[in-house]
Structure 1
Amino acid sequence: MAKRHTAAAAACLLLAGCLVWAGRKRTVTYLPDERAFPNAQIGYAPGVLDSGTEGATLRYLGLTWRQLEPEEGAYAWEAIEQTCHLAELRARGVHLVLRISCDEPGDEAHLDIPDWLYEQTGTGRWYDIAYGKGYAPDYTDLVFFAAHERLLRAVGERLGADGFVSYVELGSLGHWGEWHVKSGEGLPSMPDEAVRDRYAALYREAFPQAALLMRRPFRFAAEHELGLYNDMTGLPEDTEEWLGWIACGGWYEGDPEGLVPMPDAWQTAPIGGELTSRLSMEQLLTTDLSRTVSLIRQSHMSFLGPKTAETAFREGYDAVLAALGYRLRVTEASLRRVTGGTVLTLTFTNDGTAPFYWDWPVNVYVEEVDGTTVEAQPLALSLPDLLPGGCQTVKTKLAGVPGRWWEEQDRRITLGIVDPMTGRDAVRFAMQTAQEDGRTVLFAGE
C-alpha cells in the first residue's frame, strides 16, 4: 500500500473546521462537503452495457424471461455473465438493480417469454397497440405461475446470495414489468390482487437480502414494508400523480382502494426509478432543473436508472446526483485520554434525503503512517436509523493511540463503512477531510 501523507491530511483537517486541544481532550468539528459524487448503493444506475456515467456504484440489469431460460430448466448464466461483465462488476464492488420482465413492447411482433413456455401455455394475447407490438401472457395460468416460481428461485440463488443484487424492482407482470396492461386497447386487465400478491411473495422468497421495490403503493408493499419506484421521474404530471398515490392511496384496476397511503415508506425502504423519456435532457437538466431536483427530493429517491442524467449537462448531472440518497458525515469528533487508552466520541448526521438502508459495519481504525491497520473498533451506529436531519453520538475506546501521537506523526485515526460483499470500506462521508482507500481521516499527526 502506498505511503500515507499524514501532514497533508492534518492540513485538510485544519481547513475542514475548528480543532481544539485542551488538557486531555482534543476536539475537531467538520464542515459538510456539498459536492456531488457517487457513493455506495445510491446515485446513478446505468445499464450494465452503458457507458458515460462516472464512477457509478450501481448498475441496472434488466432481463426478459426469454433471455434467462431459453430452454426449460437450462439458464443462460454463462452468456449473461460474460455479456454483462458481472464478475468484473462484482469484483469492483458494484451492485445491481435487477428487473425481470415478460412483456416488453417493441417495433416487431415478438415473444419475451421462452418458446417452450408459450407452447405449454399459449393463453395470453398477441397485440399491436400504441406502446408497440408484443405478447401479453396470462398471468393467472397455473403452468405459467409454477414455471415463474422456479425461475425466480434460480435467479435468486445465482445472483442474490451475496448481496450483489441490492435492489429488485418487482417486474414480471404487465408491460415492461410495470404492473399495468393497456387493457383499454383490448388486452385483458391485470390479474386481481390475490394473484398479484402471489407473484410478489415469490420475490420475497427468492431475494431475502435485497431491497424490493414496487411500481405503485400496493397493499402488499405497505404490509411488507417494500420500497417503491417511479419510471417517469422528472415528468411533473406523472410524478405528482405517483406522489399523490403515496400520500393518499388511490384507484387501481377497478378497486378504489387498490393503492394505499405509504407517506413514510422512504424512512424504512428505498425509493428508486429512472428519468422520464418524455422530456429532453436539456429540459430535465437545464431548463427545468430546479423542478427536476425538487421532484427527486420530494420522492426521497436513492437511485436512478437505467435512464440517467447525461454528463454533457454537467450542472444538472451534478445537481441530480447530489439530491439522491443519504449524505452521511461526522459533525464533531473528540479524543479524551483515559487510563489504558483513548476514548473517541463521534457525532454523526445525515444531510441527504434518505437513510442508508443497509446495516453495514461501521469501524474506526488506528493506522500506521504506511497505511497498516493497527486497530479496528466497531461502532454501535445504526445506519438505517440515521434519518435526514437526525444525529447519533457513539463512543469507543482505542488502545492503539499513544499519548503524544499527534506530535510524532506516526499514526492516524480513520473511519470506514464496510461492504459485506467485498469486505472493503466503501462509503464516502460528505465532509471536508481527506478520503483515502474508502476511509475518512478523522485525526492525523501534525
Structure 2
Amino acid sequence: MSYREYVPWVLEYSDSTTTMDARIRLTFLLFTSCVLIVNGYKSATISFNQDTSVTLRNPFRGFMAYSLTTNPNTTSFPTSLEYQYINMSDVNPAQDQYDFSSIEAFANDAVQRGNHFVFRVVVDYPGMGSLVPAYLTQGAAAVTFTSYTSYGGGQSPDYNNTRLITAMTHLIAALGRAYDGDKRIAAIELGLLGFYGEWHTFVDSGNQPPFAPRSVQITILNAWNASFNITPLVNSQDEYQYWSSSDASTSQSGYARYKNIGRFDDNFGVQTYNASNPDDANNFYYRAIAAGDGDSWKYTMRGGEVQPTIQQDQFKNPTPSTVQPFLPAVNAVHTSWLLNDNLFEPASDFIRRTGCVSFHGLQLYLSNLYARSDNTTLYIQATIVNTGVAPFYYPLSLYASVDGGVSVVFSGTPNSYGGNSSTVVSATVPLSSTSSSSSVLRLWLSSSHALSNNPIFLGNNKMDASGGLNLQLQRNTSSGAVISERRHDGGAPPATDTETVASPSTFSSDGRTSVTGPQTSVQGGSSSAQR
C-alpha cells in the first residue's frame, strides 16, 4: 500500500423530484480529510466505522494509577486520570483551618500531563497509624481509638465522637467551596469513614473496631451532598450493606435521595458481579439492585479499584478461576474508571490490557452523517453512537464549523447511556460566499470540564490532534451550493470495510428526524495508535 490509506464509504443521495442511485465511492486519505460530496439542493448520507484506538486517553474514563508525581513509572500506559489518598491530618491541621496544598500540587501536576485528578480523604489507613488531626486527640472530648491488628494494624477512631464528626462536616464544606466545579478534578471519593475511607471496619482476624452508626453516616452524606453540586462524588459500594429499599427514606442513600453521589467498587474483580449467580448478595451488582439503586449509573458516576491482590491476574489469559471476568463485570456495574496501578508497569500482556481501556465509560463515535445544502447554508444531522457502558457525567456538546468560520452547536445532546445507544443531533451551519471551492466541515465534541491539553475524541478515523473530524466539501462558488465530484487519489480503493446506508431522511420542523441505516460494526483499536 502506498503512503495513502484508503477507507472507502458509499454515499447515496436524492432530491424531491428525481431519485438517483448515484453511488460515489469516497475515501479517507492518510494525513488528509474525508471528502463529503453533496449535489446542490440534494442530500447525502455517509456512514462511518468506529476506531477505538483514538479514544484511549479520552477524559473521565479508563484505568488510572496513583499520581505520576509519586509513581513516575506509570507513563507507558494510556490514562487520563491520576489518584491519591489525602490524609485528613494534612488538610485540617487545626480547628477550622485548612491546608489544601497537597491537593493543589497533585491536581496541578496531573493537569500538566493532560490528566484529571481523583482523591479520597482518609483518617484510618491500616499500617499507617492514625491520620486523625492531632488537635482532635487533645483537650476535652478528645477522640479515642480502638486498636486492631488486621492489614498491618492501626487505630480506628470513635465515630460517635461529636468533635470528629463536626470536623469532618466542616472539612467537607471547605472542600466544596474550593473544588466543586473545579475542572482539574474528575471526581471525589467520599472516604473519611472506616478502613481506607471505604466505609467498613472488616477484619480478617482479631478485634473488629466498631463502625460509624447509620445516623453518623447520614450526617456525612448530607454534608457531601450539600457541598457539591457539579463535581461528581462517589461512595464505597460497601455502604449498601447498611440500608435497604424497605427502610424509611431517611435511612436510604441511593440516587433518589442523593443526586450527585455515585458509587465506587473497591473490591472490583472479587465481589463485583457473579455471572453464574447474579443474585449473589456479596457482590456490588446485586447490592445495588437490592437497594433499588440498580439504575443509578445512568445519572451518577461509578468507578472503583481492581482488588490489589488480583491486579497481577486480572488480565492473564486465561483468567484464573478465582478472579471474576473483567468485561462481564464492567458491563454489569457500568464503571467509568478503575484504579489499577499494576497495569502501568511493563508486562507481556500490554496489548490485551490496553484493549480493555475501551470498555470503560463513554465511547462515542459518529456513525452516520446526513447533509443537505442550499447556496448559503449546510444542514446536518449526525448520529452519535455510544458503544461504551456509561454516559458522560458532565455537560457535553457537538460542534461544527466550515472553513474555520463560526462555531455552531448541534441541537440535542450527543450523550447517551451506552450499549450501542444512539442520539441524533442537528445543526445549521452558514456557508460563506467568499469561501474557496474546497471547504472543510469540522466536527468536534466539547465539554467545559475537559482539559485543553486532552480534548474529547470521537472514535473515528483520521481525527486531528485537537479532537476534530474534518470532512472536505466541494462547493460551487458562484451558486454557493455543494457540488458532486468523484474524489479519490487514483486507482481503486480496497473493497474492505465498505458500508451501504439507507436513503437519507429530510429534516422535520424541529430538526430532530432520525437518520435510519444499518448498525455499523465496531472496529477495535490497537495500542499503536495511542495519543
TM-score normalised by L of structure 1 = 0.83
1:288 to partner: Cα distance: 0.9
In structure 1, what is the Cα distance between the partners aligned to 2:123 and 2:316?
Answer: 32
In structure 2, what is the equivalent of residue 343 of structure 1? 379
Determine if the alignment matches structure 1 residue 434 to structure 2 residue 463: yes
In structure 1, what is the equivalent of residue 157 of structure 2? 137
Q: 1:409 to 1:18 in 2, by over 3 A?
A: closer
Q: 1:383 to 1:167 in 2, by over 3 A?
A: farther
What SS does the corresponding residue of 1:46 show, helix, strand or coil?
Answer: strand
**Which letter does structure 2 place at the counterpart of 1:418?**
S
Q: Within 5 Å, give how 1:249-288 maps onto structure 2.
A: 249=290, 260-288=291-319
**Which letter does structure 1 place at the counterpart of 2:47?**
T
Q: Within 5 Å, give how 1:55-66 maps onto structure 2.
A: 55-66=78-89
Q: Within 5 Å, give how 1:168-183 maps onto structure 2.
A: 168-182=188-202
In structure 1, what is the equivalent of residue 47 of structure 2? 29
**Which letter does structure 1 place at the counterpart of 2:329?**
L
Q: 1:415 to 1:161 in 2, by over 3 A?
A: closer
Q: 1:316 to 1:275 in 2, by over 3 A?
A: farther
- Identity across matched positions, percent: 18
1:378 to partner: Cα distance: 0.9
Q: 1:130 to 1:16 in 2, by over 3 A?
A: farther
1:233 to partner: Cα distance: 1.4
1:255-285 Cα shifts (integer Å, max 9, x gaps): xxxxx13221222222110111122524534
In structure 1, what is the equivalent of residue 350 of structure 2? 314
1:116 to partner: Cα distance: 1.1
Determine if the alignment matches structure 1 residue 89 to structure 2 residue 130: no
In structure 2, what is the equivalent of residue 300 of structure 1? 334
**Which letter does structure 1 place at the counterpart of 2:373?**
R
**Which letter does structure 2 place at the counterpart of 1:343?**
Y
In structure 2, what is the equivalent of residue 147 of structure 1? 167
1:91 to partner: Cα distance: 5.0
Q: Within 5 Å, give how 1:202-221 maps onto structure 2.
A: 202-216=223-237, 217=240, 219-221=252-254
In structure 2, what is the equivalent of residue 75 of structure 1? 98
1:159 to partner: Cα distance: 2.9
1:415-437 Cα shifts (integer Å, max 9, x gaps): 23233464678211112343331
In structure 2, what is the Cα distance between the partners aligned to 1:330 and 1:116?
Answer: 56
| Kept after mapping to 1: 8 A contact 2:85/2:121 | yes
1:132 to partner: Cα distance: 2.1
- Between stretches 321-330 and 13-22, larger displacement belongs to 13-22
Q: Within 5 Å, give how 1:186-265 maps onto structure 2.
A: 186-216=207-237, 217=240, 219-222=252-255, 223-225=257-259, 226-235=261-270, 237=271, 239-240=273-274, 241-249=282-290, 260-265=291-296
| Kept after mapping to 2: 8 A contact 1:381/1:394 | yes
| Kept after mapping to 1: 8 A contact 2:376/2:433 | no
**Which letter does structure 2 place at the counterpart of 1:314?**
F
1:123 to partner: Cα distance: 3.6
In structure 2, what is the Cα distance between the partners aligned to 1:333 and 1:299?
Answer: 32
Q: 1:56 to 1:402 in 2, by over 3 A?
A: farther
**Which letter does structure 1 place at the counterpart of 2:445?**
G
| Kept after mapping to 2: 8 A contact 1:357/1:384 | no
Determine if the alignment matches structure 1 residue 380 to structure 2 residue 403: no
Query: Which protein has the bigger strand share?
Result: 1
1:108-155 Cα shifts (integer Å, max 9, x gaps): 6x2211111222454432413222222111222111111112212222
1:129-186 Cα shifts (integer Å, max 9, x gaps): 2222221112221111111122122222233342322212221110001110137843
| Kept after mapping to 2: 8 A contact 1:105/1:131 | yes
What SS does the corresponding residue of 1:301 show, helix, strand or coil?
Answer: coil
In structure 1, what is the equivalent of residue 499 of structure 2? none
**Which letter does structure 1 place at the counterpart of 2:464?**
Q
1:78 to partner: Cα distance: 3.2
| Kept after mapping to 2: 8 A contact 1:428/1:438 | yes
Q: Structure 1: which 5+ residue stretches go unaligned? A: 250-259, 368-372
| Equivalences, count | 419
In structure 1, what is the Cα distance between the partners aligned to 2:314 and 2:420?
Answer: 31
In structure 1, what is the equivalent of residue 28 of structure 2? 12
1:338 to partner: Cα distance: 2.5
| Kept after mapping to 2: 8 A contact 1:360/1:420 | no
TM-score normalised by L of structure 2 = 0.71
In structure 1, what is the equivalent of residue 400 of structure 2? 364
Query: Which protein has the bigger helix share?
Result: 1
**Which letter does structure 1 place at the counterpart of 2:121?**
I
| Kept after mapping to 2: 8 A contact 1:44/1:304 | yes
In structure 2, what is the equivalent of residue 100 of structure 1? 121
1:443 to partner: Cα distance: 4.1
Q: 1:341 to 1:191 in 2, by over 3 A?
A: same
| Kept after mapping to 2: 8 A contact 1:355/1:388 | no
| Kept after mapping to 2: 8 A contact 1:19/1:27 | no
**Superposition CA RMSD, Å:** 3.2
Q: 1:115 to 1:285 in 2, by over 3 A?
A: same
In structure 2, what is the Cα distance between the partners aligned to 1:384 and 1:227?
Answer: 18
1:372-396 Cα shifts (integer Å, max 9, x gaps): x312001123244454322211211
| Kept after mapping to 2: 8 A contact 1:274/1:306 | yes
Q: 1:17 to 1:440 in 2, by over 3 A?
A: closer
1:189 to partner: Cα distance: 2.5
1:29 to partner: Cα distance: 1.1
1:44 to partner: Cα distance: 1.7
What SS does the corresponding residue of 1:196 show, helix, strand or coil?
Answer: helix
Q: Within 5 Å, give how 1:402-417 maps onto structure 2.
A: 408-417=437-446
1:331 to partner: Cα distance: 1.0
| Kept after mapping to 1: 8 A contact 2:365/2:386 | yes
**Relative contact order, higher structure (CA 8 A, sep 6+):** 2
1:314-368 Cα shifts (integer Å, max 9, x gaps): 133213211111110111112211253111111111111111121133311223x
- Between stretches 298-307 and 13-22, larger displacement belongs to 13-22
1:35-82 Cα shifts (integer Å, max 9, x gaps): 361211111221123332434221113201012123444433335534
In structure 1, what is the Cα distance between the partners aligned to 2:471 and 2:307?
Answer: 41
